[in-house]
Amino acid sequence: MAKPLQVDDLWLERIAGLLNEMEFGSLNIVVHEGQIVQVERTERKRYELGAAGSTKSSGSSRASARPIRKAESR
């Protein structure tokens, strides 16, 4: 029988902090015997290729990034 999961405020703060810092990605929480023992974060950075084919990006400003896909108008 599975033990009930025990989550304290410290783990809730850690998880919320990791999620708040992430724009694209996933968070995997590993539980062993009813307790969180590990958190794995996979983050994706998306960059639009420029007209010259350059992939350079400073990555520091979210406002300068443009979405890869453009919405179609109907």
Segment 2-56, tens digit of pLDDT: 778 878 899 999 999 999 989 899 999 999 888 899 999 999 888 888 765 555 5
- What whole-number distance in Å separates Cα of residue 5 and Cα of residue 7? 6
CB 8 within 8 A of CB 17: no
Strand 25-32 and strand 35-43: the pairing is antiparallel
62 contact partners, CB below 8 Å, separation of at least 6: 23
SS3 at position 22: coil
Q: How much is the pLDDT for 74?
A: 46
Q: How much is the pLDDT for 4?
A: 83
Given a cut of 80, whether residue 64 has pLDDT beyond it is no
Strands (E), 1-74: 25-32, 35-43
Across 63-69, average pLDDT: 53
